[in-house]
Amino acid sequence: MNISAVLLAGGESRRMGKDKATLLFRGRPLWQIQLELLRQLEPAEIFISARTDPTWRPADVEFVADDPPSRGPLSGLAASLAQMCTKHLLALAIDMPFMTQKYLKFLCGQIEPGRGVLPEIGNRAEPLVAIYPLEVDIDFRSALSGADFSLQTLTSRLAEAGKLRTISVPDEAKKFFLNLNTPTDLQRK
């Protein structure tokens, strides 16, 4: 598949109380679950975006530092867009272990030249499981230099400009977007 992929692992995990990437879910660390999912898609390259290079990062996966580190996932996406060698970047959050290969392939099938894909549940974008075209690099850099670091704000503007195609998530796929934020979330089946 001629896309790049980034595993977003730079969150502070305040509500969880410890690094989400190394949490065990169904007997395996989250980073391993998500990285395996991305590898199944066979992207041209895979990045790990985090504040610092994680000790668990496999040698064949490139580290991309969140720069600046205090801007949430906006920093990691901007840094990954600047590094990639393809025309599209698939983003996947570390804490969404219910996502499936089939759904990600569906999203990949919706991209167009110069246009990415942004899933929506109701009126809320899901920017941490989305595909961004290379052309939004300038928009991400501009957002980093401003005062609003919200991906909701940015992706809304990108959709209005036609750089992202919004796709409504059907009811049966909403469970793929569940994320793990607290220790009790780890009990989900």
Render pLDDT for 88-143 as a digit per residue (tens, 0 to 9).
Answer: 999 999 999 999 999 999 999 999 999 999 999 999 999 999 999 999 999 999 99
Instruction: Tell me the C-alpha distance between 90 and 47, whole Å.
Output: 10
Instruction: Tell me the C-alpha distance between 73 and 9, whole Å.
Output: 9
The pLDDT assigned to 16 comes to 44
Angle separating helix axes 73-83 and 137-144, nearest 10 degrees: 140
User: Among 16-20, 87-91, 123-127, 154-158, which is the least confidently predicted range?
Assistant: 16-20
Question: Helix (H, G, I), strand (E, B), or coil: what is residue 33?
Answer: helix
- Chain segment 30-71, per-residue pLDDT in tens: 999 999 999 999 999 999 999 889 999 999 999 999 876 667
Choose among 96, 90, 119: nearest CA to 1: 90
* pLDDT surpasses 80 at 174: yes
Question: Helix (H, G, I), strand (E, B), or coil: what is residue 128?
Answer: coil
Interior/surface letters 58-86, b for 16+ CB within 10 angstroms, e for the rest? eeebbebbbeeeebbbbbbbbbbbeebeb
* pLDDT surpasses 60 at 12: no
The pLDDT assigned to 43 comes to 97
* pLDDT surpasses 80 at 72: yes
Q: How many residues does the chain have?
A: 189
> Is 4-187 assigned to CATH 3.30.530.20?
no
Which two three-digit tokens encode residue 24? 């065990």
User: Among 16-25, 35-44, 77-86, which is the least confidently predicted range?
Assistant: 16-25
- Chain segment 159-168, per-residue pLDDT in tens: 999 999 999 9
